[in-house]
Amino acid sequence: EGLFDAARKRALPQFPRQIGIVTSPQAAALRDVLRTLANRMPNVPVVLYPVPVQGADAGQKIAQMIATANRRAECDVLILCRGGGSIEDLWAFNEEAVARAIAASAIPVVSGVGHETDFTIADFVADLRAATPTAAAQAVVPERQALRRHLAQQQQHLAQATLRQFERRMQQLDYLQRRLVHPAQRIRQQADQLEGLHRRLRLAQGSGLQQAQWRWQTSSQRLRRLRPDVAQRCERLAVSARHLNSAMTVYLARQDARLLALHQHVQYLDPQQVLARGYSVVRDAAGQVVSSSAAIAVGDNLQLIFAQGGAMVAVRKIHEAP
């Protein structure tokens, strides 16, 4: 049926906003995954979907919980994990119901079952197979320090590229300035040429006035052709300078916009910014995130988490969803 085909496997989100973990609350693998996620990207919320990971009904309950996570649609990626064990202990992950639930999941699934040498059918159906639960956690979130280093490197590369571009433009401007001869210097050069022509004319007077006049006219025409158009050259230099300044302004504006977009993207990934706008996270007594009034009852104790601090409240009245 193509459940194992590589073509159907989806890429994992680069920056997940919330991560779901399908495993037993008592599993040692859960502690490894939570510790790894906290070390790499502590600001990403985690939702636990508790299921038994071994036993007669474990496979069916795992499949049901994957379907539940898809219905709730609150996570960008799911981690299906448990620690190592015998083939009998891992058999729930070989059941057809689990394989079909993974294949039907609209949320990408990462399988981290057992040790590196353990393989189950769930590994082949999942969008990504990780050798261990810890490796699964490493696969779903980038490392915070690595992101900071990458952003710093990009900023440094941008600054260096801008500096190199500015230096090249300055060199071009210096080259154009050297090529432009000052009008006074050009006039002196032409005056020297004219004086030389006059001397040659006087020396040639002995061979006949007509020949001398002809040579003088020829020299005058050559002098007029050699005379530079100082105004035109100054105008060309001014146009080149304006083009250079315009190009540098556009380039620097683009680079500033790109740097600002990267900075805003990093801020967008910080859940603390969402809380700072007045939102809060509600957790029940078990520490689970509450997203619906159907999950609580009157008298339940709830924990509110704000951008700064939190509070414990008791439910006095429940309003049903419209």
Q: How many CB atoms lie within 10 A of CB 93?
A: 28
Question: Which region among 167-176, 201-210, 249-258 has the lowest average model confidence (pLDDT)?
Answer: 201-210
Residue 298 has pLDDT above 80, yes or no: yes
Residues 6 or more apart in contact with residue 240 via CB below 8 angstroms = 173, 176
- pLDDT tens digits along 124-169: 999 999 989 999 999 999 887 777 787 888 888 898 888 889 888 8
| Top-confidence residue, 182 or 67 | 67
In this prediction, residue 228 carries a pLDDT of 63
CA–CA separation, 114 vs 81, rounded Å? 8
CA–CA separation, 284 vs 263, rounded Å? 34
Predicted TM-score (pTM) of this structure: 0.47
In this prediction, residue 213 carries a pLDDT of 75
- pLDDT tens digits along 179-227: 777 778 778 888 888 888 888 877 776 666 677 678 888 888 887 777 6
